[in-house]
Copies of this chain bind each other. A is one copy, B any other.
Amino acid sequence: MEYKKELQRLIVDIKTNHLPSVSIDCVIFGFHQGQLKVLLLRWKNTDDWCLPGGRIRKDENMDAAAHRSLRERTGLHEIFLQQFHTFGDINRYRHYSQSETMAKLGLPEDVAREVISRDISVGYYALVEFANVVPTPDLLTDECRWWDVQQIPALLFDHNEMITLALKTLRRQLSYQPIGYNLLPEKFTMPDLQQLYETILGESMDRRNFQKRMLSYGILERLDERKTGGAHKSPYLYRFDKEKYEKALETESLFTA
């Protein structure tokens, strides 16, 4: 049983090199074909999905641990990552009870105890460029793939709640910080950006007013290129002015609605 050996090695590594009682969970948002996506993992030999997560090494900052987790699941290095809530209830089982969950995971008793002990879990959400992601499962999971936010199944633990809260936080963030730098390709059209906003907020907006508002923020740079290929008038391409974008992120002062 090579796999079981690997598992044991993992447990030992966790016990010796990582902080006990604390874990990290990541809600990784991507944007593709007008849909907001979340990256989920499927547990080995089951049909059950959950959020990617990880633990914090004893010699590692917590944010660094979250970045590492994300790197391992997506292959991406520079990502927008933000802590949104820390989950600390004793009972974090929702759709399945603790014993059901244990059974589903199908792990040896001692391993299971380690993997799903009572943890304080720090939730992060990430915004990534869909096209650049290489979804990669880990030792405990068979599959890693994108799910449409609207079609997420009943997840293990309290992970559905985590996604809901992450989305809520993301929506609020939209009202005082710019967004899109990590979700869109470098060059994009105004309709692309609008579609992103509409998808996240779940509502449609007036095309003309949206453009005025975005431009008023002063973080966009219109290029002399246009996007061709569509059977219509070709739209201008824009890109973010990184410097002003970062400044807006910090000050949080530019935005209102």
Residues of A within 8 A of B (CB): 19-22, 56, 58-63, 65, 83, 85-90, 118, 120, 122, 172, 176, 252, 256
Name 11 A/B residue pairs within 8 A (Cβ), A-sorted.
A20-B20, A21-B21, A59-B90, A62-B89, A62-B120, A83-B85, A83-B86, A86-B122, A120-B120, A172-B176, A256-B256
Q: How many copies does the complex hold?
A: 2
CB-CB under 8 A from A88, the residues of chain B are 56, 61-63, 65, 122
* Pick from B20, B60, B87, B176: contact of A90, CB under 8 Å: B60
Distance to closest chain B CB from A48 (angstroms): 25
Q: Given A22-B120, A120-B122, answer yes or no on A61-B86 (Cβ-Cβ < 8 Å).
A: no
* Pick from B61, B86, B120: contact of A19, CB under 8 Å: B120
Residue in chain B with minimal CB distance to A66? B88
CB-CB under 8 A from A256, the residues of chain B are 256
Distance to closest chain B CB from A66 (angstroms): 9
Distance to closest chain B CB from A157 (angstroms): 15
With the chains together, A146 CA to B224 CA distance in Å?
59
Q: Which 8 A-B pairs have the closest CB atoms?
A: A62-B88, A19-B21, A86-B86, A61-B89, A22-B120, A20-B20, A86-B122, A21-B21
With the chains together, A118 CA to B20 CA distance in Å?
11
Distance to closest chain B CB from A59 (angstroms): 7
User: Beyond A19-B21, A19-B118, A63-B89: 5 further Cβ-contacts under 8 Å?
Assistant: A59-B90, A60-B90, A63-B88, A86-B86, A86-B122
CB-CB under 8 A from A176, the residues of chain B are 172
Distance to closest chain B CB from A201 (angstroms): 13
* Interchain CB contact under 8 A, B58 and A86: no
CB-CB under 8 A from A120, the residues of chain B are 19, 22, 56, 62, 120, 122
CB-CB under 8 A from A62, the residues of chain B are 86-89, 120
Distance to closest chain B CB from A141 (angstroms): 24
With the chains together, A9 CA to B252 CA distance in Å?
47
* Pick from B22, B59, B85, B90: contact of A21, CB under 8 Å: B22
CB-CB under 8 A from A20, the residues of chain B are 19-21
- Residue from the set A56, A88, A90 with the largest chain B CB neighbour count within 10 Å: A88
